[in-house]
Amino acid sequence: MKKIVIMSDNHGDQSMIDYVKEHEQDGDYYIHCGDSEAYDPRVLEGFICVKGNNDWSLDLPKEARLVVEGVSIFITHGQYFGYFNRELAMNDILTRNHCQVLISGHTHMPMFQKDGSFYYINPGSTTLPRGGSARSYAVLFIDNGKLDFRLKEIQK
C-alpha cells in the first residue's frame, strides 16, 4: 500500500506546506497541485509540483505523471478545464494521456469523484477554501489498484 499526500492552493502561506509535512510524515509521495506561490522554493523539496496560474516566479512543469502500484496518475493545476463541461475536459485529458486518476487543484473545493474507470481528485485549498468547504488537503491510499481517499480538514 502506498500513501500519497496531496495539497494545493496555499497561495504564499508557506506554513501550510510545513503543516502538511508535519501531519503526514509517513507519505510515500507528496504532491502539490499548484498556486503555492512559494517565495522560497526549497519548501517544496520532496513534492511533485506543478505550476498554478499564480506561480509566476516558479519554474515548474504544467503537468506531471506518476504510476503507483500500476495506477496511472495525471497531475495538473486545473486552470485549463474551464467552468462549463469541466468533467468532459478532465475526462479528455485522462483519455489522451492514458491515465486513470486526475489530481488537480485550482477550484479551492475538494472533490473525489469516480466516473466509469476514471477518478477525479481535488484536495481543496489549505488557505482559501471556497463553496462552503473547510481548509483541507487530501490523502490517497493505493493498495493493489484500489483507491481509498481521505479529506483532511486543517485544524489550525
27-54 residue pLDDT tens:
999 999 999 999 888 999 999 999 999 9
Distance CA 13, CA 129 (A): 13
Q: Where are the alpha helices (DSSP H) in the chain?
A: 14-23, 86-96
Tell me the whole-structure pTM to 2 decimals: 0.96
Distance CA 39, CA 74 (A): 26
Residue 83, pLDDT score: 75
* Greater pLDDT, 10 or 87: 10
Read off the C-alpha cell for 34. 499548484
Residue 86, pLDDT score: 85
Summarised one tens digit per residue, pLDDT across range 97-143 is: 999 999 999 999 999 999 999 999 999 999 999 999 999 999 999 99
